[in-house]
Structure 1
Amino acid sequence: MTADRSRTSGESGAAARYGDAEPPAVARPASAAHQLLRVLGALLREDVAGLRTRSTLLHRTDGPWLRLATGPGSALLLPVREDGFQGTWGARLPLLRQEPDGTDLATTDEVLDALARLAAPEDAPGYAAFAEECRSDLAARRLHAATRAPVLARLTDRHGPDPAHWRGHTGALAHDTLAARTDHPVHPVSRGRKGLGERELRAYAPEFHPRFALRWLSLPAGRVTVAPGTGPDAAPAPYTASETGGVPLHDGWPTPAELGLPAGHHEGHVLLPVHPLTAAGRLRDVLAVTGLAGHAVLAERPMLDAVPTLSMRTVALAVLPDTHLKLPLATATLGLLNRRTVTPGSLRDGAAGQRLLEGVLRREPRFAGRVLLADETNYAHAGHELLAVLRRTQPAGLDDAAVLPLAALPAPAPDGRPVIEHLADRFHGGDPVALADAVLTLLLDWQTTLFGHGIALESHQQNVSLVLGGGTDGPRLLLKDNDGPRVHTRRLAEAWGCAEPTADSLGFADGRICGTEDAPVADLFTTITVHLCAGSLAFGLAAHGTAPLDRLLGLIRDRLAEAIDRTAVTMPGAAAVLRARVLEAPELPVKAMVTAGTLLTKARSGAADINKHYTTGPNYLLRKA
């Protein structure tokens, strides 16, 4: 993301510096320089090899440098710039330099090779894996650049030139494509996908807006758990069952006869949709391992066209765009260990998370109609992470609304302006800051209220969608993928006036979800809601020149303070925790995604959950002296 300095004369220095705005070297492709700056920034933030904590700050004529001694008379020198988002310093050109010979390390391979020599020998495979991720990401970046014009032309032809008028769940898929062509706020090489080359990306990745037919697997019904209501591990329904009801799992799916399946698979069998990449990949081995090879039949005939969402493994049915199918993939994104499979336990946890949020909404009527939930209670699996499907049903009545993930707000529209500016033109009198304010007000009010109930969600910028229009004034939020929350059970019991629940009584399969400490809930609130939803929007819009950074950060700080004050009326203990750990803390937790996801094994990093492993960074919400 490159700052447009011609439009940011009123912004602070930090805004102008945000986004690796250094000019690329003349002989190096811009995509490679941009990637290397992001990689070095992440390695510095996560203190890989002691880059952050063992370095000495030097002041030179061209600016600050960090010097990391690596041996007698030898060192690595990194030129840095002030950052302020999730790290105090960011990398700048001319990149990492070796002493005493003065050689510049100009590629990610060279940088990682130098750092790997400083690491423990058992960590060498992680460095090699991350180097491969960097190469995959760079290839994807170059592919994105080469295909930008035709992809945007396809979106314009299908949906119109103005993204503010891309309507309903079909239009949301076009917004997903724009969001997929932007960088992740934390992970430096987010565009690559392990094991997938250009052909597979063009055919199945959301950034190309493709359409493809699904494959179908027939399995004996007795070997498949179907929810709700059947199977040995179907989730219990604490408090109340889902109010949304759901749709039969097979509604709208092809029949065995239409798929050309043999007569013996017309009765007593369950059809599971399978992603074409999985069908062409590991499916045969999985069937053998599970003992299903002699009982399952993969239909030769692909049927039912689908379009990938921002989460590549989740696809929307072309004829039923309000129906999403989450289908496991044998790939990884955002880290080697961050696999895109679908475990049976995560399906159960997603349904339990939905019921938990429904319980909050019943107790907090002011969010009625303003916070919407996708129905994720319908799923099936055959006991393996590659033999599963979640059928997600989006809320009805949004055909005339603009529906888009928060990740799409700062994304460039076909005309180059951020999407939020188009939405502001249509819905907010042409004032994108006023629109951002309205979104932040609702987002922080809702998430702070959840914190008062002892709940924090993994509701990052991909899992929360903004809904505008459609006959309702003001923004609405649409939530999905609620399988990875953290729940403070004592606070939940106090807020709900019930006995203290357990993970099992709430229906969660993952015992890590529930606890009796504030820290895990507050850390998740900070790293997801504050950083990935609110902070990334502010810094991203400032980099585009939409508004000064100080003004945008002031909105976050003020709206969060107001939300905490509201929470303090009924839940003073929870409010005090947020005030101390977020608004007034000298530092904030930051995701250490490279360390936990690739560089180190779980045994080496100590990460119980690779998506909830943290380092620290500056608190950009503190008021300046």
Structure 2
Amino acid sequence: MLGALLREDVGGLRTRSTLVALPDGPWLRLPTGEGRALLLPVREDGFQSRWTARLPLLRQEPGGRDLTSTGAVLDALARLAAPGDAPGYRAFAEECDRDLLARRLHSATHAAVLARLAEVHGPDPAYWHGHRGSLAHDTLAARTDHPVHPVARGRRGMGAAELRAWAPEFHPRFALRWLALPAEHVVHAPGAAGVLREGWPTPAEAGLPDRLHDSHVLLPVHPMTWAGPLHEALAETGLADRAVPVGRPLLDVVPTLSTRTVALAARPAEHLKLPLATSTLGLLNRRTVTPASLLDGAAGQRLLARVLARAPRFAGRILLADETRWAHAGHDMLAVLRRVQPAGLEGAVVLPLAALPAPAPDGRPVAAALADRFHGGDVTALVDSLLTLLFDWQTTLFAHGIALESHQQNVSLVLGGAEGPRLLLKDNDGPRVNTRRLTAALGGGEWNAERLGFADRRVCVTGDGPVADLFTAITVHLCAGALAFGLGARGPARPDALLALVRDRLREALDRTAAAYPAADGLPSAAEVLRARLLHAPELPVKAMVTAGTLLTKARSGATDINKHYTTGPNYLLRKA
């Protein structure tokens, strides 16, 4: 937590402090007025911050009193903030408490959960196959830390019982609740009304009266939403007297890494994204499902399909989940997305990038087990093959003016098959698109938000800056840099070798992009834009997730999108002398 607050310069910890040398090592000293100061013991970091916390304490001067609890530290920093920011500090203290609860549960259940995964799927995660095996990899990934957010394991509104019942790190299985709504109040994706409900309970199976079979449609509801927020949503939409709740749970599911998205237990290639009345990665990062996000996910998928059609070398290597089937009743708590994963992956290993550094049942990182099977035990070769495809694809997207929120949870590595490594993408809402560059790349007239079908007008911009920032924060930091630093810290490969690999494969991808997409239509070469911003810039943009997500309101932080609010950190891609 202290490392994150330092990185985000909370209370001026980074920019107002001076470095002092004490007998036990370096400290940062932050003056707080009238001869008082706060001191933070630090060590060199180098990933997304020059320094990070070395010990879990903040020392007060004069007196040398050490603050060693999250509450005491946040109280001290809150006194340096504007009075109106106090609620954010209290909310963050609560998030720390929830994260601690989750960590204790993870520790207490670690052996039992891993034993159950090994019993069901086998002892070696390199042989957990298909979409069913991917759910087991999600469980491992959910038990690891987020590369940026310090207290990502807790979830607002979910105590120990709820976590055990519904969170992916416990690999539970549960049944969904169902709600019958008047058909005229439910909006479906074009042409999706019938296929959306294939395999769902029928009105008769749900026990609805015959008179409602034709007039009402069933929507699935997560049990957590059923417990209270559902009634508020029905009241707000005026449907409280016309909605018919189904009396018993139906259709077993297993949670995926995102928690709110669940896989059908009998058909794990099919996922349902359901709104939850909770927040993760920050108070303001609510886990509902807005109607706009459903439109934008489908629009993002169509856009990626257009790029793939123009880049045949990615055929069969970049896979897209189908996210065109959805429904909502005009409220972010009354919605569902039915995601269908690509077929034909039953014999492949499919896992989110977030699972690669996670401990496998034998204690080694999952990446080491995969390297044993697919690369003769060479973890560096495994990472090499991943980075080569990842950077080739993402720089090609940038040449079309596109950057995705394709972080380590939304991109899965697919291993096994003649194609070599493949990438599977999902959750394609929330990109940034430079419409000038997209128009130059696609032709056929101007491409804008209306033509592309994006409901969120923040998606489309007219410059490279927001697109490059997202590319850096997501593809470079969360997918590549976090993997290099994470695996390097756990020992299966040397961190300097992995960092050199990140730098070299990115440079090679930019060389290919420069040759394929030269400067045109008055725009600079996309490759040169990224080369200047990534390989030569002294600093890189870094997500400021605590500040934008919890500590400050949007009005105070200035964040138009809390997931795209940045500070800066050192450029670990610069070659060292």
What range describes the TM-score normalised by the shorter chain of this pair?
A: over 0.9
Count of aligned positions: 571
3-state SS in 1 of match to 2:195: coil
Q: Please say which of residues 83-92 and 276-285 is displaced more in the overlay.
A: 276-285
C-alpha displacement at 1:497, in angstroms? 1.8
TM-score (normalised: structure 1): 0.90
Partner of 1:333: 280
Partner of 1:321: 268
Q: Would you say 1:574 and 2:521 are equivalent positions?
A: no
C-alpha displacement at 1:569, in angstroms? 1.3
C-alpha displacement at 1:532, in angstroms? 0.2
Partner of 1:502: 448
3-state SS in 1 of match to 2:66: coil
Partner of 1:3: none
Q: Would you say 1:449 and 2:396 are equivalent positions?
A: yes
C-alpha displacement at 1:95, in angstroms? 2.1
Partner of 1:591: 543
Q: Would you say 1:615 and 2:567 are equivalent positions?
A: yes
Partner of 1:461: 408
Q: Please say which of residues 166-175 and 54-63 is displaced more in the overlay.
A: 54-63
Partner of 2:49: 87
| Residue type at the aligned position of 1:464 | V
| Residue type at the aligned position of 1:164 | A
Partner of 1:558: 504
Is the CA contact 1:168–1:402 (under 8 Å) kept in the aligned structure 2?
yes
Give CA-to-partner distance per residue, 1:329-359, whole Å, 9 cap, x none. Answer: 0000000000000000000000000000000
| Residue type at the aligned position of 1:271 | L
Give CA-to-partner distance per residue, 1:539-597, whole Å, 9 cap, x none. Answer: 00001011111100100100000010111113231111000011111000000000000
Of 472, 475, 478, which residue of structure 2 is paired with 1:532?
478
C-alpha displacement at 1:49, in angstroms? 0.5
Q: How does 1:403-482 map to 2 (within 5 A)?
A: 403-469=350-416, 471-482=417-428
C-alpha displacement at 1:374, in angstroms? 0.1
1: CA distance between counterparts of 2:366 and 2:494?
17
Is the CA contact 2:207–2:246 (under 8 Å) kept in the aligned structure 1?
yes
Of 60, 63, 71, which residue of structure 2 is paired with 1:98?
60
C-alpha displacement at 1:262, in angstroms? 2.0
Give CA-to-partner distance per residue, 1:232-290, whole Å, 9 cap, x none. Answer: xxxxxxxxxxxxxxx81001101111111222321122111100110112111111110
Of 41, 60, 66, which residue of structure 1 is paired with 2:28?
66
Partner of 2:521: none
3-state SS in 1 of match to 2:239: coil
3-state SS in 2 of match to 1:505: helix
2: CA distance between counterparts of 1:458 and 1:93?
33
3-state SS in 2 of match to 1:512: coil
Of 287, 291, 294, which residue of structure 2 is paired with 1:344?
291
Partner of 1:77: 39
Q: How does 1:183-222 map to 2 (within 5 A)?
A: 183-222=145-184
| Residue type at the aligned position of 2:420 | G
Q: How does 1:251-330 map to 2 (within 5 A)?
A: 251-330=198-277
In structure 2, stretches of 5+ residues that fail to align are: 519-524
Q: Would you say 1:383 and 2:330 are equivalent positions?
A: yes
Q: Would you say 1:159 and 2:117 are equivalent positions?
A: no
Q: CA 1:138–1:94 in structure 2 vs 1: closer, same or farther (change >3 Å)?
A: closer
| Residue type at the aligned position of 2:185 | R
1: CA distance between counterparts of 2:185 and 2:451?
26
1: CA distance between counterparts of 2:423 and 2:99?
31
C-alpha displacement at 1:61, in angstroms? 2.0
1: CA distance between counterparts of 2:493 and 2:175?
43
Is the CA contact 1:94–1:104 (under 8 Å) kept in the aligned structure 2?
no
Give CA-to-partner distance per residue, 1:155-186, whole Å, 9 cap, x none. Answer: 01110100000000000000000000000000
3-state SS in 2 of match to 1:310: coil
2: CA distance between counterparts of 1:102 and 1:503?
57
1: CA distance between counterparts of 2:78 and 2:386?
43
Over the matched positions of the two proteins, sequence identity in percent amounts to 76
1: CA distance between counterparts of 2:174 and 2:156?
21
Of 91, 97, 101, which residue of structure 2 is paired with 1:135?
97
Is the CA contact 2:316–2:419 (under 8 Å) kept in the aligned structure 1?
no
| Residue type at the aligned position of 1:224 | V
Aligned CA RMSD, in angstroms, stands at 1.0
In structure 1, stretches of 5+ residues that fail to align are: 1-38, 232-246
3-state SS in 1 of match to 2:458: helix
Q: How does 1:39-58 map to 2 (within 5 A)?
A: 39-58=1-20
3-state SS in 1 of match to 2:67: coil
Is the CA contact 1:448–1:564 (under 8 Å) kept in the aligned structure 2?
yes
Q: More relative contact order in 1 or in 2 (CA 8 Å, sep 6+)?
A: 1
3-state SS in 2 of match to 1:267: coil
Partner of 1:27: none
C-alpha displacement at 1:500, in angstroms? 2.0
1: CA distance between counterparts of 2:84 and 2:507?
46
Q: Would you say 1:400 and 2:352 are equivalent positions?
A: no
| Residue type at the aligned position of 2:36 | S
1: CA distance between counterparts of 2:513 and 2:129?
35
| Residue type at the aligned position of 2:44 | E
Partner of 1:12: none
